[in-house]
Amino acid sequence: MSGVSAGRGKTQTTKDSASVFLPTGLKVYTALVTLLLGILLFCPLQEIYTEKVNLTMANKAERERTFIMVKPDGVQRGLLGEIVKRFEKKGFKLVAMKFMWADETLLQKHYGDLSSKPFFNGLVKYMRSGPVCPMVWEGLNVVKTGRQMLGETDPANSLPGTIRGDYCIEIGRNICHGSDAVDSAKKEIDLWFTGDELVQWKANEEPWLYE
């Protein structure tokens, strides 16, 4: 009887130990699962956070932007790709682009500083004669360099190697428009594009272009 009692006591002790151990094990298991889930959730969130921080830093250090527009003659002559290629090969980054028919009101605002000129109405009419391709390019000194790449307003005065020097003859068909100053570039960009249409992105080639 004493052996049986002892056995029962031992069994009872084992059960009591198990009842104490089991909750502790569950607590450890729960803690490990929570930790694992936290790690799994934290990694993507950390990546998203890092990406947002990088974009924010990039925006704060945002480089100069310019407004370039291929006119109806440039579009009709199939020169759009060549003009885009030149800016890309130079190292500038495309931020926005549209292919569109510009309405009269938009063009009158765009060329508002020329409204007193005798050729104003003819210019607006011509710019409505076909689709245009407005673009925004970004990079160091892009306004000044972009103008140099386009060449003089009058193709006859444009050097070979410039877009106008290579591809056009007459001032009334000079292929493209480019902002002449940083302030005018901002105004033109705001006129033709909304903030949501300006794409924030980092080009992989940037470390090979800028120190």
CA distance 111 to 105: 10
User: Of the listed 124, 142, 177, 193, which one is catalytic?
Assistant: 177
Inter-residue contact 138 to 82 (CB < 8 Å): no
Residue 110 designated active-site? no
C-alpha dihedral over 38, 42, 45, 49, to 10 degrees? 140
> H helices of 61-98, where?
72-76, 80-90
Inter-residue contact 163 to 86 (CB < 8 Å): yes
Inter-residue contact 71 to 92 (CB < 8 Å): no
Inter-residue contact 114 to 120 (CB < 8 Å): yes
Write the CB contacts of 73 (distance below 8 Å, at least 6 apart in sequence). 130, 168, 173, 174, 175
**Active site residue ranges:** 177
